[in-house]
Chains A and B, each alone.
Chain A
């Protein structure tokens, strides 16, 4: 029985999400719950994280091999639980459209990533991906039903691509299990019938992740969503897709020719295009979104190396990406009035401004923050695999991204704040609460300490890559 403790975090998340939604729907919680409920949910998620770190060390399979508990799952689940806890704590709940749904959806999105991370077969991967995507759609629908419809359609197309790809892979290998697929493919030469479904599959995942050049739908939707909703789209939903991508490519590692060129092209486009686009825009939220695209390109580049060190580096970077990309928009708060909305943010909301600056710098890969260590780990794998062109393009993207972030730093810390009379609703400042301040402080510590105290994290990421069967 105790071996099932490893599933306790998932159970806690789902139970908590359902309880919050039901309590909100039936009005069981009073208006004062706005003060303590986010704190309570954050604490429960942190408890789930503690349980995961304690029980997740156990390696085993569950439900007839449908779910697996290994180091990859442990890393991805721990990263997404930490992300959810910090995101909920840092969110300005006055800027969200619904407290109860706003609290429940990050939990369900995290649950989706957890399912995908511990899934051992194609069905689990797809289910996890869909749960994470659906949570984003709900968050957007709370504010902009038109945009949520758009996200739903884009997600539907992505799902169709993924499903067709999964079906073809299943039909080709005759096995829904990832280890089974890997065993079958290991004995076959790459062939066109397999290359096409893999292309469709990865195309669907790219749309889900919002990686360039497939970022258009998700990006526009994210710009219209609430802060936390944007964080879910730019961060957690992309993490779900990246997690699925890592597991699938690990299963297909015996035939890298089928997917590596495609992944390399997409990652190059994302790294350079994301950095250039971040430099071209001035508003903070689009800039955050493009920075996320750029860093996701690095994650994809690591996956494209199809070696343990590359996927390990990608996984390490994915942890940093999850925290920064999900919490960044939440730290920004309302601030939808373009660049002037954050003029003098460093003076008016110093802790949030510090968090936002660190989130952007980390997404850009500036030293010595989380993203820098992750990108350098991937860069190392690229050099080892001889992909110097991709490495050069990635570095170019990072330079562009850092230049973009310096522009935002100037606005945050050097520009004078807007006069109160000129500050409309779109530029309203985030409310200051003890929880949001503490959340921002924790966020800063995580981003600054991720690499500095990164030995156990990187070791776990490396073991995670090993657990996928990579050498």
Chain B
């Protein structure tokens, strides 16, 4: 499939994929949430005298993530992309007195986020294989974090969403406090402060929405389809934007990102940069863009401005810093800005681009955070003044750092290219100033990346630097997994086909699967055709 065809296919005219819909399960999504919780509790309860079963615990965590990935692959493969409705739905009355239902479901964007979460979860466990201290607690907390991210993605009830959204903060803060770098305390408090502020804004927004929608149900099918006045839509949307900006993060609510991504252990940095933060953009997509079209129109310039400031700030800050992990943290902000630019475009193509950039941006952010953390660990220094000319001595890390840099910039062959093309094509029409500013920010980012690569990889070797070693097998695997996913979706956005046919080989294609539901999400912004029929 050509790239252009892939992009066109992302517009809301999905075709059914043969072989889909054969398998379904009434509790598939629950498995994605509760299996890691169950395993986390089991690990926490396992006796472990003097660390005798540390390796076993790592294996259990790894195979749990692998199992989740297998379940996800089934969900992905069997997903019926021509259906605009939620799939694998589970709906059980939970607290009927206040209108809470245990309602789960996924559409195309949800499936994309789930795939991202699964890949990032697996990568984070692989990245954590080197953990030596308090292994039981570490992997229990990591699995709980994974469960909360999965729960927030599949939640179709706002109460359930808030619960999972908020639940990630505590295990992550403890992980940073327990296994982080020298400034871990600052990092953990900042994470709690900013994420707490965001959660408070989310709760206020959700409760206001609940009240204005009649106060009978927290179900998204009710809340997000309620008819609100433009003024109410704007008020609620601002609360949601604050919540999303603290999580994604967006300038100026990004104060936690540098310390957290720089001080967290590698596995935790990967899960934060890759999956947990993407929930911010996912929230914007579900609430502001899809549900509050009047506010979407009014606030889209604000979103574009936030995106531009985020990308520009991240690029400039990355250029100024002399700490390689700080630089990675700033660079990991860039994909979030691009995703928000796509949402600000309020056009089907821009929204589709932002959905794809949730996936590609998550992978790219996790890859840059992970590779820079690995580099700093293996080179025994975080200082850019010390790290120099490492490419010959760290070939694996060097290649992966180059791929991460290219992924951030959206270079062809990598999936972030497709996402950025869709985003910018969509954005230049409706938000030309914002799109131009983001592009300028990307140029600054490119300079920062070029400086990083030139100095760290290809500069003259520093004779006074500590000894370096290349990435271990586990580190290469986790970084390779992220880079491989970026390459795979970039090369086969519509999935590989049996030669000469349109039948998918085994992967129906992320672009095909993500289209389900996008037409519904983007319907308020679909321009009418001359014949009066909406596209």
Please list the residues of chain A having a beta carbon within 8 angstroms of any beta carbon in chain B: 309, 312, 346, 354, 361, 366-368, 372-373, 376-377, 379-380, 382-384, 388, 391-392, 395-396, 398-399, 402-403, 405-406, 409-410, 413-414, 451, 454-455, 458-459, 461-462
Contacts and interface: CB of A to CB of B under 8 A. Distances in A.
B137 A346 contact: yes
Interface in B173-226: 173-174, 177-178, 188-189, 192-193, 196-197, 199-200, 203-204, 207-208, 210-211, 215
B174 A409 contact: yes
Contacts of A379: 203, 207
B204 A388 contact: yes
Interface stretch (B64-72, B164-172, B314-322, B366-374): B164-172
A361 B192 CA distance: 14
Contact of B204 (A361, A392, A403): A392
A382 B208 CA distance: 10
A384 B206 CA distance: 12
Label chain B's interface by main secondary structure.
Answer: helix
B177 A406 contact: yes
Given A384-B215, A410-B178, A414-B177, A372 B163 contact: yes
Given A395-B203, A455-B95, A459-B97, A402 B134 contact: no
A458 B170 contact: no
B207 A402 contact: no
A410 B207 CA distance: 32
Q: Which 6 A-B pairs have the closest CB atoms?
A: A399-B196, A383-B207, A395-B200, A414-B178, A367-B163, A410-B177
A403 B192 contact: yes
A402 B94 CA distance: 25
A35 B185 CA distance: 43
A312 B159 CA distance: 18
13 contacts: A367-B162, A368-B167, A372-B166, A379-B207, A383-B204, A391-B203, A395-B203, A399-B193, A402-B196, A413-B174, A414-B134, A451-B95, A455-B95
Contacts of A373: 95
Given A396-B200, A406-B188, A409-B174, A462 B166 contact: no
Given A376-B162, A458-B97, 13 more contacts: A309-B98, A367-B162, A367-B163, A367-B164, A367-B166, A368-B167, A376-B159, A383-B208, A391-B207, A399-B200, A402-B169, A405-B170, A406-B174
A380 B177 contact: no
B18 interface: no
A39 to B, nearest CB: 23
A399 B98 contact: no
Contacts of A405: 170
Contact of A392 (B96, B98, B200): B200
A192 to B, nearest CB: 33
Nearest to A395: B200
B26 interface: no
A458 B192 contact: no
A402 B174 CA distance: 11
Measured as residues with beta carbon below 8 angstroms from the partner, the interface class of chain B is 35 or more
Nearest to B99: A380
Interface in B451-473: none
B192 A399 contact: yes
B192 A455 contact: no
A377 B211 CA distance: 13
Contacts of B97: 312, 455, 458-459, 461-462
Contacts of B499: none
Nearest to B148: A367
Nearest to B102: A452
B223 to A, nearest CB: 13
Nearest to A405: B170
B199 A380 contact: no
Contacts of B200: 392, 395-396, 398-399
Nearest to A385: B211
A197 to B, nearest CB: 34
Interface string B33-46: 00000000000100
Nearest to A462: B97
Nearest to B177: A410
A206 to B, nearest CB: 26
Given A366-B166, A458-B95, A406 B173 contact: yes
Contacts of B96: 455, 459
Given A403-B196, A462-B97, A395 B189 contact: no
B170 A402 contact: yes
Contacts of A376: 159, 162, 203
Nearest to A388: B204
A455 B169 CA distance: 26
A372 B165 CA distance: 13
B199 A399 contact: yes
A403 B193 contact: yes
Q: Quick one: which of A384, A402, A405 has the most chain B CB within 10 A?
A: A402
Nearest to B174: A409
A461 B95 CA distance: 12
A458 B167 contact: no
Contacts of B174: 406, 409-410, 413-414
Contacts of A454: 94-95
Contacts of A399: 192-193, 196-197, 199-200
B528 interface: no
A162 B204 CA distance: 36
Nearest to B169: A402
B93 interface: yes
A402 B207 CA distance: 21
B189 A403 contact: yes
A383 B166 contact: no
A449 to B, nearest CB: 13
B177 A455 contact: no
Nearest to B198: A399
Given A346-B137, A413-B174, A377 B98 contact: yes
A442 B365 CA distance: 42
A378 to B, nearest CB: 11
A263 B364 CA distance: 51
Contact of B98 (A361, A367, A380, A388): A380
A404 B267 CA distance: 25
Contacts of B208: 383, 388
A398 B162 CA distance: 14
Contacts of A384: 211, 215
Q: Quick one: which of A309, A361, A367 has the most chain B CB within 10 A?
A: A367
Interface in B94-122: 94-98
Contacts of A459: 96-97
A380 B210 contact: yes
Contacts of B170: 361, 366, 402, 405-406, 409
B278 to A, nearest CB: 20
Nearest to B206: A383
A415 to B, nearest CB: 9
Contacts of A410: 174, 177-178
A465 to B, nearest CB: 10
A239 B96 CA distance: 26
Nearest to B137: A413
Interface string B275-298: 000000000000000000000000
A127 B193 CA distance: 44
Interface string B109-150: 000000000000000000000000010010000000000000
Contacts of B193: 399, 403
Contacts of A383: 204, 207-208, 210-211
A262 to B, nearest CB: 24
Contacts of B93: 455
A312 B98 CA distance: 10
A399 B196 CA distance: 5
Contact of A413 (B134, B166, B189, B207): B134
A384 B189 CA distance: 32
Contacts of B166: 366-367, 372
A128 to B, nearest CB: 27
A403 B173 CA distance: 9
A349 B164 CA distance: 29
